[in-house]
Structure 1
Amino acid sequence: MADKGPFLTSCIIFYLSIGAAIFQILEEPNWESARSKYLLQKEDILKKYPCLMKEDLDEILKVVSDAAGQGVSITGNKHHHMWDWGNSVIFAATIVTTIGYGNVAPKTKGGRVFCILYGLCGIPLCLVWISTLGSFFGDRAKRLSQVLIRRGVPVKRVQLICTAIFLLWGLFVHLVFPPLVFRSVEGWSYLEGLYFSFITLTTVGFGDYVAGTV
Protein backbone atom coordinates (compact mmCIF):
# COMPACT_ATOMS: atom_id res chain seq x y z
CA MET A 1 0.00 0.00 0.00
CA ALA A 2 2.84 2.39 0.84
CA ASP A 3 4.35 1.87 -2.63
CA LYS A 4 1.07 2.91 -4.25
CA GLY A 5 0.97 6.26 -2.42
CA PRO A 6 3.24 8.27 -4.78
CA PHE A 7 1.59 6.70 -7.83
CA LEU A 8 -1.94 7.55 -6.64
CA THR A 9 -0.82 11.05 -5.68
CA SER A 10 0.59 11.53 -9.19
CA CYS A 11 -2.67 10.23 -10.68
CA ILE A 12 -4.73 12.70 -8.61
CA ILE A 13 -2.47 15.62 -9.57
CA PHE A 14 -2.65 14.62 -13.23
CA TYR A 15 -6.45 14.18 -13.09
CA LEU A 16 -6.88 17.57 -11.40
CA SER A 17 -4.63 19.22 -13.97
CA ILE A 18 -6.54 17.72 -16.90
CA GLY A 19 -9.88 18.71 -15.34
CA ALA A 20 -8.70 22.25 -14.63
CA ALA A 21 -7.45 22.65 -18.21
CA ILE A 22 -10.70 21.42 -19.74
CA PHE A 23 -12.87 23.57 -17.45
CA GLN A 24 -10.74 26.60 -18.27
CA ILE A 25 -11.09 25.96 -22.01
CA LEU A 26 -14.86 25.51 -21.73
CA GLU A 27 -15.73 28.22 -19.20
CA GLU A 28 -13.20 31.05 -19.51
CA PRO A 29 -14.53 32.37 -22.86
CA ASN A 30 -18.03 32.59 -21.37
CA TRP A 31 -16.67 34.50 -18.35
CA GLU A 32 -14.77 36.89 -20.62
CA SER A 33 -17.93 37.44 -22.67
CA ALA A 34 -20.04 38.08 -19.54
CA ARG A 35 -17.43 40.51 -18.19
CA SER A 36 -17.31 42.45 -21.47
CA LYS A 37 -21.11 42.56 -21.60
CA TYR A 38 -21.24 43.86 -18.02
CA LEU A 39 -18.77 46.67 -18.74
CA LEU A 40 -20.64 47.64 -21.91
CA GLN A 41 -23.95 47.71 -20.06
CA LYS A 42 -22.44 49.97 -17.39
CA GLU A 43 -21.25 52.34 -20.10
CA ASP A 44 -24.68 52.28 -21.76
CA ILE A 45 -26.39 53.18 -18.47
CA LEU A 46 -24.01 56.11 -17.92
CA LYS A 47 -24.68 57.36 -21.48
CA LYS A 48 -28.44 56.94 -21.07
CA TYR A 49 -28.46 58.87 -17.78
CA PRO A 50 -25.87 61.67 -18.09
CA CYS A 51 -26.71 62.96 -14.61
CA LEU A 52 -25.50 59.66 -13.14
CA MET A 53 -21.80 59.66 -12.34
CA LYS A 54 -19.65 56.52 -12.47
CA GLU A 55 -19.14 56.73 -8.69
CA ASP A 56 -22.92 56.88 -8.17
CA LEU A 57 -23.46 53.82 -10.35
CA ASP A 58 -20.74 51.91 -8.50
CA GLU A 59 -22.41 52.81 -5.20
CA ILE A 60 -25.77 51.54 -6.46
CA LEU A 61 -24.17 48.32 -7.65
CA LYS A 62 -22.51 47.85 -4.26
CA VAL A 63 -25.87 48.22 -2.52
CA VAL A 64 -27.35 45.63 -4.88
CA SER A 65 -24.39 43.30 -4.37
CA ASP A 66 -24.64 43.57 -0.59
CA ALA A 67 -28.38 42.84 -0.70
CA ALA A 68 -27.84 39.83 -2.95
CA GLY A 69 -25.16 38.60 -0.55
CA GLN A 70 -27.76 38.62 2.24
CA GLY A 71 -30.15 36.56 0.10
CA VAL A 72 -32.47 39.43 -0.82
CA SER A 73 -34.00 39.26 -4.28
CA ILE A 74 -32.76 42.25 -6.33
CA THR A 75 -35.11 42.08 -9.33
CA GLY A 76 -38.75 43.13 -9.42
CA ASN A 77 -40.97 44.21 -6.55
CA LYS A 78 -41.70 40.69 -5.29
CA HIS A 79 -39.05 39.51 -2.85
CA HIS A 80 -38.44 35.79 -2.49
CA HIS A 81 -38.42 34.86 1.21
CA MET A 82 -35.17 32.93 1.71
CA TRP A 83 -35.97 31.94 5.30
CA ASP A 84 -39.58 30.81 5.19
CA TRP A 85 -40.44 27.36 6.56
CA GLY A 86 -39.92 25.50 3.27
CA ASN A 87 -36.51 27.01 2.55
CA SER A 88 -35.46 26.53 6.16
CA VAL A 89 -36.28 22.81 5.91
CA ILE A 90 -34.28 22.56 2.68
CA PHE A 91 -31.36 24.37 4.33
CA ALA A 92 -31.47 22.02 7.33
CA ALA A 93 -31.42 19.07 4.91
CA THR A 94 -28.38 20.46 3.08
CA ILE A 95 -26.51 20.60 6.40
CA VAL A 96 -27.13 17.04 7.56
CA THR A 97 -26.54 15.61 4.06
CA THR A 98 -23.38 17.78 3.63
CA ILE A 99 -24.65 19.04 0.25
CA GLY A 100 -24.37 22.73 1.11
CA TYR A 101 -25.67 24.47 -2.03
CA GLY A 102 -24.40 27.82 -0.78
CA ASN A 103 -27.34 29.87 -2.05
CA VAL A 104 -28.64 30.22 1.52
CA ALA A 105 -26.41 30.53 4.57
CA PRO A 106 -26.84 31.92 8.10
CA LYS A 107 -25.70 35.54 8.40
CA THR A 108 -26.16 36.03 12.15
CA LYS A 109 -23.71 34.88 14.83
CA GLY A 110 -26.46 32.87 16.51
CA GLY A 111 -27.37 31.20 13.23
CA ARG A 112 -23.77 30.23 12.53
CA VAL A 113 -23.21 28.82 16.03
CA PHE A 114 -26.44 26.82 15.79
CA CYS A 115 -25.41 25.63 12.30
CA ILE A 116 -22.21 24.14 13.79
CA LEU A 117 -24.07 22.42 16.64
CA TYR A 118 -26.86 21.25 14.35
CA GLY A 119 -24.37 19.77 11.90
CA LEU A 120 -22.34 18.05 14.63
CA CYS A 121 -25.46 16.16 15.69
CA GLY A 122 -27.28 15.92 12.37
CA ILE A 123 -24.50 14.68 10.08
CA PRO A 124 -23.76 11.50 12.11
CA LEU A 125 -27.52 10.89 12.39
CA CYS A 126 -27.85 11.17 8.61
CA LEU A 127 -24.90 8.82 8.07
CA VAL A 128 -26.52 6.24 10.36
CA TRP A 129 -29.78 6.62 8.40
CA ILE A 130 -27.96 6.12 5.08
CA SER A 131 -26.19 3.07 6.52
CA THR A 132 -29.56 1.67 7.62
CA LEU A 133 -30.98 2.20 4.14
CA GLY A 134 -27.94 0.46 2.68
CA SER A 135 -28.54 -2.52 4.97
CA PHE A 136 -32.22 -2.56 4.00
CA PHE A 137 -31.49 -2.72 0.27
CA GLY A 138 -28.62 -5.13 0.91
CA ASP A 139 -31.06 -7.54 2.61
CA ARG A 140 -33.43 -7.24 -0.38
CA ALA A 141 -30.57 -8.03 -2.75
CA LYS A 142 -29.63 -11.03 -0.62
CA ARG A 143 -33.20 -12.34 -0.67
CA LEU A 144 -33.40 -11.88 -4.43
CA SER A 145 -30.13 -13.74 -4.92
CA GLN A 146 -31.36 -16.62 -2.74
CA VAL A 147 -34.56 -16.89 -4.79
CA LEU A 148 -32.58 -16.98 -8.06
CA ILE A 149 -30.11 -19.55 -6.72
CA ARG A 150 -32.99 -21.80 -5.65
CA ARG A 151 -34.26 -21.63 -9.23
CA GLY A 152 -30.93 -22.92 -10.50
CA VAL A 153 -29.39 -19.67 -11.74
CA PRO A 154 -25.55 -19.77 -11.56
CA VAL A 155 -24.00 -17.74 -8.73
CA LYS A 156 -21.99 -15.43 -11.03
CA ARG A 157 -25.08 -14.67 -13.08
CA VAL A 158 -27.06 -14.01 -9.89
CA GLN A 159 -24.44 -11.50 -8.75
CA LEU A 160 -24.53 -9.82 -12.16
CA ILE A 161 -28.35 -9.67 -12.20
CA CYS A 162 -28.65 -8.27 -8.66
CA THR A 163 -25.95 -5.67 -9.28
CA ALA A 164 -27.54 -4.62 -12.57
CA ILE A 165 -31.04 -4.37 -11.07
CA PHE A 166 -29.99 -2.17 -8.16
CA LEU A 167 -27.69 -0.02 -10.30
CA LEU A 168 -30.42 0.56 -12.88
CA TRP A 169 -32.98 1.23 -10.16
CA GLY A 170 -30.65 3.71 -8.48
CA LEU A 171 -29.89 5.47 -11.78
CA PHE A 172 -33.58 5.71 -12.64
CA VAL A 173 -34.68 6.99 -9.21
CA HIS A 174 -31.83 9.45 -8.70
CA LEU A 175 -30.75 10.57 -12.18
CA VAL A 176 -33.21 9.64 -14.94
CA PHE A 177 -36.61 10.40 -13.37
CA PRO A 178 -35.90 13.56 -11.24
CA PRO A 179 -34.99 15.77 -14.26
CA LEU A 180 -38.47 15.10 -15.68
CA VAL A 181 -40.00 16.38 -12.44
CA PHE A 182 -37.73 19.42 -12.36
CA ARG A 183 -38.55 20.19 -16.00
CA SER A 184 -42.24 20.22 -15.12
CA VAL A 185 -42.03 22.02 -11.77
CA GLU A 186 -39.01 24.31 -12.18
CA GLY A 187 -39.12 24.87 -15.95
CA TRP A 188 -35.56 23.59 -16.39
CA SER A 189 -34.30 21.70 -19.41
CA TYR A 190 -33.64 17.97 -18.98
CA LEU A 191 -29.88 18.60 -18.99
CA GLU A 192 -30.23 21.25 -16.26
CA GLY A 193 -32.32 18.83 -14.18
CA LEU A 194 -29.81 16.03 -14.74
CA TYR A 195 -26.95 18.35 -13.80
CA PHE A 196 -28.76 19.42 -10.61
CA SER A 197 -29.56 15.80 -9.71
CA PHE A 198 -25.92 14.74 -10.15
CA ILE A 199 -24.56 17.71 -8.17
CA THR A 200 -27.05 16.94 -5.38
CA LEU A 201 -26.50 13.16 -5.38
CA THR A 202 -22.73 13.55 -5.15
CA THR A 203 -23.15 16.24 -2.42
CA VAL A 204 -21.01 18.66 -4.46
CA GLY A 205 -23.79 21.28 -4.24
CA PHE A 206 -22.52 24.22 -6.28
CA GLY A 207 -25.74 26.16 -5.69
CA ASP A 208 -26.08 27.54 -9.22
CA TYR A 209 -29.29 25.51 -9.55
CA VAL A 210 -31.50 25.01 -6.50
CA ALA A 211 -35.06 23.72 -6.61
CA GLY A 212 -37.76 26.00 -5.19
CA THR A 213 -35.90 29.28 -5.65
CA VAL A 214 -36.23 32.11 -8.17
Structure 2
Amino acid sequence: MRWNVLLGLSGIVFIYLILGGVCFHFLESGHEEETRRVSREYMQQFLDEKQCVTAEELKELISFAIEVYDSGVQPANTTTPPVWDIFSSVFFSVTVITTIGYGNLSPTTKRGRIFFVLYATFGIPLCLIFLAGLGDRLTVRIEIMSSKKVFFFFFFFLN
Protein backbone atom coordinates (compact mmCIF):
# COMPACT_ATOMS: atom_id res chain seq x y z
CA MET A 1 0.00 0.00 0.00
CA ARG A 2 1.45 3.38 -0.99
CA TRP A 3 1.98 6.15 1.58
CA ASN A 4 -0.60 8.46 0.04
CA VAL A 5 -3.22 5.70 0.13
CA LEU A 6 -2.28 4.90 3.73
CA LEU A 7 -2.48 8.58 4.64
CA GLY A 8 -5.95 8.82 3.07
CA LEU A 9 -7.04 5.67 4.88
CA SER A 10 -5.75 7.04 8.20
CA GLY A 11 -7.81 10.18 7.58
CA ILE A 12 -10.88 8.05 6.93
CA VAL A 13 -10.27 6.05 10.13
CA PHE A 14 -9.81 9.27 12.11
CA ILE A 15 -13.03 10.79 10.75
CA TYR A 16 -14.85 7.49 11.38
CA LEU A 17 -13.68 7.52 15.01
CA ILE A 18 -14.72 11.13 15.60
CA LEU A 19 -18.12 10.63 13.97
CA GLY A 20 -18.65 7.43 15.97
CA GLY A 21 -17.75 9.20 19.19
CA VAL A 22 -20.13 12.06 18.43
CA CYS A 23 -22.93 9.61 17.59
CA PHE A 24 -22.39 7.58 20.78
CA HIS A 25 -22.29 10.81 22.78
CA PHE A 26 -25.61 12.04 21.42
CA LEU A 27 -27.28 8.61 21.59
CA GLU A 28 -26.27 7.89 25.18
CA SER A 29 -25.76 11.21 26.99
CA GLY A 30 -29.44 12.18 26.90
CA HIS A 31 -30.42 8.96 28.62
CA GLU A 32 -27.68 9.45 31.19
CA GLU A 33 -28.80 13.01 31.97
CA GLU A 34 -32.44 11.94 32.22
CA THR A 35 -31.52 9.10 34.58
CA ARG A 36 -29.57 11.51 36.78
CA ARG A 37 -32.48 13.96 36.88
CA VAL A 38 -35.09 11.29 37.64
CA SER A 39 -32.94 9.71 40.35
CA ARG A 40 -32.34 13.05 42.08
CA GLU A 41 -36.07 13.86 41.97
CA TYR A 42 -36.98 10.41 43.24
CA MET A 43 -34.56 10.58 46.13
CA GLN A 44 -35.70 14.07 47.09
CA GLN A 45 -39.35 13.03 46.93
CA PHE A 46 -38.60 9.95 49.00
CA LEU A 47 -36.88 12.02 51.68
CA ASP A 48 -39.63 14.65 51.70
CA GLU A 49 -42.49 12.17 52.02
CA LYS A 50 -41.06 9.47 54.28
CA GLN A 51 -40.51 10.19 57.91
CA CYS A 52 -40.51 6.53 58.79
CA VAL A 53 -39.58 3.94 56.17
CA THR A 54 -41.42 0.62 55.87
CA ALA A 55 -39.87 -2.59 54.55
CA GLU A 56 -41.75 -2.29 51.25
CA GLU A 57 -40.61 1.30 50.75
CA LEU A 58 -37.05 0.33 51.48
CA LYS A 59 -37.23 -2.51 48.91
CA GLU A 60 -38.60 -0.04 46.37
CA LEU A 61 -35.76 2.39 47.04
CA ILE A 62 -33.15 -0.34 46.80
CA SER A 63 -34.51 -1.67 43.50
CA PHE A 64 -34.52 1.85 42.07
CA ALA A 65 -30.95 2.44 43.26
CA ILE A 66 -29.83 -0.79 41.62
CA GLU A 67 -31.49 0.23 38.35
CA VAL A 68 -29.73 3.61 38.44
CA TYR A 69 -26.40 2.02 39.34
CA ASP A 70 -26.71 -0.50 36.49
CA SER A 71 -27.09 2.38 34.05
CA GLY A 72 -23.71 3.74 35.24
CA VAL A 73 -25.03 6.81 37.07
CA GLN A 74 -24.15 7.71 40.64
CA PRO A 75 -27.01 10.04 41.58
CA ALA A 76 -25.91 10.87 45.11
CA ASN A 77 -22.66 12.35 43.89
CA THR A 78 -23.60 15.20 41.57
CA THR A 79 -19.95 16.13 41.01
CA THR A 80 -19.30 12.91 39.11
CA PRO A 81 -18.47 13.79 35.50
CA PRO A 82 -20.79 12.47 32.80
CA VAL A 83 -19.99 8.98 31.61
CA TRP A 84 -20.75 9.76 27.95
CA ASP A 85 -18.83 12.99 27.44
CA ILE A 86 -17.32 13.51 23.98
CA PHE A 87 -13.83 12.28 24.93
CA SER A 88 -15.12 9.09 26.55
CA SER A 89 -17.32 8.49 23.53
CA VAL A 90 -14.40 8.82 21.10
CA PHE A 91 -12.29 6.57 23.35
CA PHE A 92 -15.12 4.03 23.32
CA SER A 93 -15.16 4.24 19.50
CA VAL A 94 -11.43 3.47 19.41
CA THR A 95 -11.86 0.44 21.67
CA VAL A 96 -14.71 -0.81 19.48
CA ILE A 97 -12.95 -0.75 16.11
CA THR A 98 -9.63 -1.97 17.50
CA THR A 99 -11.48 -4.75 19.40
CA ILE A 100 -9.65 -3.83 22.61
CA GLY A 101 -12.84 -3.53 24.64
CA TYR A 102 -11.21 -1.62 27.50
CA GLY A 103 -13.26 -0.43 30.47
CA ASN A 104 -16.85 -0.92 31.50
CA LEU A 105 -18.44 1.67 29.22
CA SER A 106 -21.16 0.30 26.97
CA PRO A 107 -24.32 1.64 25.38
CA THR A 108 -27.45 1.23 27.49
CA THR A 109 -30.13 2.52 25.13
CA LYS A 110 -31.62 0.39 22.38
CA ARG A 111 -30.61 2.95 19.72
CA GLY A 112 -27.08 3.03 21.13
CA ARG A 113 -26.77 -0.75 21.01
CA ILE A 114 -28.06 -0.95 17.44
CA PHE A 115 -25.61 1.77 16.39
CA PHE A 116 -22.84 -0.08 18.24
CA VAL A 117 -23.41 -3.24 16.19
CA LEU A 118 -23.48 -1.34 12.90
CA TYR A 119 -20.48 0.77 13.88
CA ALA A 120 -18.42 -2.30 14.79
CA THR A 121 -19.52 -4.17 11.65
CA PHE A 122 -17.97 -1.53 9.41
CA GLY A 123 -15.30 -0.16 11.75
CA ILE A 124 -13.44 -3.36 12.59
CA PRO A 125 -12.68 -4.27 8.95
CA LEU A 126 -11.72 -0.64 8.26
CA CYS A 127 -9.27 -0.71 11.17
CA LEU A 128 -7.83 -4.06 10.08
CA ILE A 129 -7.23 -2.79 6.53
CA PHE A 130 -5.53 0.31 7.93
CA LEU A 131 -3.31 -1.71 10.28
CA ALA A 132 -2.37 -4.15 7.50
CA GLY A 133 -1.37 -1.26 5.24
CA LEU A 134 0.60 0.38 8.02
CA GLY A 135 2.38 -2.90 8.73
CA ASP A 136 3.30 -3.25 5.04
CA ARG A 137 4.77 0.25 4.91
CA LEU A 138 6.71 -0.20 8.13
CA THR A 139 8.09 -3.52 6.91
CA VAL A 140 9.40 -1.84 3.76
CA ARG A 141 11.05 0.91 5.84
CA ILE A 142 12.67 -1.58 8.21
CA GLU A 143 14.03 -3.58 5.26
CA ILE A 144 15.53 -0.41 3.78
CA MET A 145 17.07 0.52 7.13
CA SER A 146 18.51 -2.95 7.66
CA SER A 147 20.17 -2.85 4.23
CA LYS A 148 21.99 0.32 5.32
CA LYS A 149 23.79 -1.15 8.29
CA VAL A 150 25.39 2.12 9.42
CA PHE A 151 22.03 3.85 9.74
CA PHE A 152 20.60 0.74 11.38
CA PHE A 153 23.43 0.78 13.93
CA PHE A 154 22.94 4.44 14.82
CA PHE A 155 19.18 4.14 14.95
CA PHE A 156 19.08 1.31 17.46
CA PHE A 157 22.19 1.86 19.56
CA LEU A 158 22.40 5.63 19.86
CA ASN A 159 18.74 6.31 20.70
TM range (shorter): 0.5 to 0.7
Note the residue ranges of structure 2 that are not aligned, 5 or more in a row.
1-51
AA of the residue aligned to 2:63:
K
Listed as ranges, the matches of 1:168-187 within 5 Å are none
Is the CA contact (8 Å cut-off) linking 1:98 and 1:123 kept in structure 2? yes
- In the alignment, the residues of structure 1 paired with residue 108 and residue 72 of structure 2 have an alpha-carbon distance, to the nearest angstrom, of 9
Structure 2 residue 72 is the aligned partner of structure 1 residue 71: yes
CA distance in 1, matches of 2:136, 2:62: 53
| Pairing of 1:1-214 with structure 2 (within 5 A) | 59-148=60-149
Larger RCO, structures 1/2 (Cα 8 Å, 6+ apart): 2
CA-CA distance at 1:140 after TM superposition: 2.0
**Quick one: structure 1 residues 53 and 102, their matched pair in 2 at CA, closer, same or farther if it must change by over 3 Å?**
farther
Shift of 1:65: 2.5
Q: Distance in 2 between matches of 1:118 and 1:94?
A: 12
Distance 2:70 2:57 in 1: 20
Tell me by how many angstroms 1:119 deviates: 0.6
1:205 is aligned to: none
User: Structure 1 pair 79/122, CA: closer, same or farther in 2 (3 Å)?
Assistant: same
C-alpha change, 1:136 and 1:53, in structure 2 (3 Å) is farther
Structure-2 change in CA distance of 1:72 and 1:129 (3 Å): same
Aligned length, in residue pairs: 103
Q: How many Å separate the matches in 1 of 2:76 and 2:141?
A: 50
Give a deviation string over 1:108-130, Cα, whole Å, max 9, x none. 22111111111110000011111
User: Percent of pairs identical after alignment?
Assistant: 36
Matched AA of 1:129: F
Please tell me the residue identity of whatever aligns with 1:131: A
> How much does 1:59 deviate?
4.3
What TM-score, normalized to structure 1? 0.41
Measure, in 1, the Cα distance between the counterparts of 2:132 and 2:95: 18
1:95: Cα distance to partner? 0.9
Equivalent position of 2:37 in the other structure: none
Cα 1:77–1:109, aligned 2, differ >3 Å: closer, same or farther?
closer
Alpha-carbon RMSD: 2.7
Distance 1:83 1:132 in 2: 32
Displacement, 1:53?
A: 6.2
